[in-house]
Each structure stands twice: as C-alpha cells, then as structure tokens.
Amino acid sequence: MEIKIYPDPILLENCKDVVNIDEGLVSTAKEMINIMRSVDGIGLAAPQVGILQRFFVCIDFANENREDSLVLINPKITEMEGRTESKEGCLSIPGFYEYVYRYEKIQIDALDLDGNEVIYHPDGLQSVVFQHENDHLDGILFPERMSQIKKDIFMKKINKEFK
C-alpha cells in the first residue's frame, strides 16, 4: 500500500459507502494508520491509498500525546458552524501548503471499526482534519477550498512540480 500522489486520477474520484466492516477493512485501516504515522501525517483517506471506499483514519487530537488514532467509516457532516483559516498540506501533494477556510465546528456522524454509530463534535484542528479527509472521499483536494485566484496560482505551481 502506498500513498497516491497528485495528479493520480483516483484522487479525484467519488468513493462508495462501505457496506461490510470485516477483517479486511480493519486490517487496511490499521495499515493506513501505520503509513500515516510513518510519514508524520495527521490524516489519511482511503482514496489516497487507492481504495474508493468512504473511510479515513486520523490522529485523535483529544489525546494530548496524539498516540490514539480514529477511523471514521461512511462519515457525514451533519452540522457546520463558524469559519476558521488554517494552513493545510496533503500527503498526496507533498511539500505544498496553503491557507484555506473551513468550518470552525462541525458535527460528523460515522461508524467505527465495530460498526457502532459515533457522533463527533470537533472544533479546531480536529474539525479541520475531519473536513479535509472527508473531502478526499468526494474527490476534492484542498486547493478546491481556496479562492479562484489563489487556487490558479497554487495549481500552476503543483502542476509544474508534479508533471
């Protein structure tokens, strides 16, 4: 399993809902967590490793030492509030960072690896990470969240680098 790098077309695909949480999915999620941590990432979505299913892994920022990870399966953002600007990067666009706007607080409903419904009410960095990773499941990369002028300049830079 390896991280797909822009402009890999799989990064622009919509993912399908996970219909069966089985040992294969559990094993894949654990491997994704190991990959994410090995490259000092804070989140990794299934399409970033070539899997077109709706789930992602990320650091649990509720834990101060950041040793815990979360797996969100079939996540849906159901409430959004406020606005915050954060400098984002992406493991699939290595070396490039830019400021984007996100919701400050959200509610996100998902399933965990046991198939239990979970509801998160993150704010701050956890909210940003959830939104960033959730976008990947819809084939959206973070430059899409920039103003058109910033996006055009940014895309020109990354297209020059990755082509």
pLDDT digits (tens, 9 = 90+) for 52-88: 999 999 999 988 778 899 999 999 999 999 999 999 9
1 belongs to a structural domain: no
Q: How many Å apart are CA 152 and CA 157, to the nearest integer?
A: 9
Query: Hey, is 116 helix, strand or coil?
Result: coil
Burial of 160 by CB count in 10 Å (0-12 exposed, 13-18 middle, 19+ buried)? exposed
Q: Which residues are catalytic?
A: 133
4 belongs to a structural domain: no
Q: What is the extent of the structural domain holding 41?
A: 9-162
pLDDT at 124: 92
pLDDT at 163: 72
2 belongs to a structural domain: no
Q: Any idea what the CATH number is for the domain that residue 138 is in? A: 3.90.45.10
24 belongs to a structural domain: yes
Cβ neighbours, 10 Å, residue 46: 24
In 82-129, DSSP assigns E strands to: 84-88, 98-102, 105-111, 117-120
146 belongs to a structural domain: yes
152 belongs to a structural domain: yes
pLDDT digits (tens, 9 = 90+) for 92-130: 999 999 999 999 999 999 999 999 999 999 999 999 999
3 belongs to a structural domain: no
Q: How many Å apart are CA 81 and CA 67, to the nearest integer?
A: 28
Average pLDDT, the chain: 96
**For residue 97, what are its two tokens?**
């960072």
54 belongs to a structural domain: yes
pLDDT at 162: 87
H-assigned helices in 3-111: 23-38
Domain count, the chain: 1
pLDDT digits (tens, 9 = 90+) for 121-146: 999 999 999 999 999 999 999 999 99
pLDDT at 65: 76
Share in percent of the chain as helix, strand, coil (round to 5): 35, 30, 35
What pTM did the predictor assign?
Answer: 0.96
